[in-house]
Structures are given as C-alpha cells and as structure tokens.
Amino acid sequence: MDKFSNNPKPYRMAVKYDEECKQILEEYCKQENVNKMEAARRGIKKLKDDLKK
C-alpha cells in the first residue's frame, strides 16, 4: 500500500489472459499512456454500468 497516497490501493490481483487480451491491453495502454493496472481499474469501473440496480 502506498502510505503517501490520497487514494490508497490495498488490494492486489493477479490475472491470466490470452493473446487477444494482451494485444488489446497493450494497444490501449499505449494509446492512453497508462500502465496496465490503470487500464484494468478503468475497465473494472466500466463494469459498474452493467450491475443490476
């Protein structure tokens, strides 16, 4: 956990993915100039719209 962050991230996750996902992730990260974890966080937040109310 980053003890100096205003938005600490105490949870960890390991993910296995296929070649297609790898290519998509790398292309997105390059386009948006973000690292893989930031891209994953953005993807997870997009899932919120799919949650049943």
Does residue 35 form part of some domain?
yes
Query: 29 near 42, Cβ under 8 Å?
Result: no
Any domain includes 26: yes
Per-residue model confidence (pLDDT) at position 25? 98
* Residue 40 forms part of a structural domain: yes
Q: How confident is the model over 15-46, as pLDDT tens digits? A: 999 999 999 999 999 999 999 999 999 999 99
In this structure, the chain runs to a length of 53
10 assigned to some structural domain: no
pLDDT of res. 26: 98
Supply the range of the domain harboring residue 38.
19-50
pLDDT at 6: 87
23 within a domain of the structure (yes/no) = yes
Looking at residue 42, what is its pLDDT? Answer: 96
Specify if 6 maps to a domain.
Answer: no
In this prediction, residue 5 has a pLDDT band, given cuts at 50, 70 and 90, of: confident
Reference 16, options 40, 42, 32, 34; nearest CA is 40
> 10 versus 23: which is more confidently predicted?
23
The count of domains in the chain is 1
Q: Contact 28/39 with Cβ under 8 angstroms?
A: yes
Name the residue among 6, 18, 15, 7 with its Cα closest to residue 43.
15
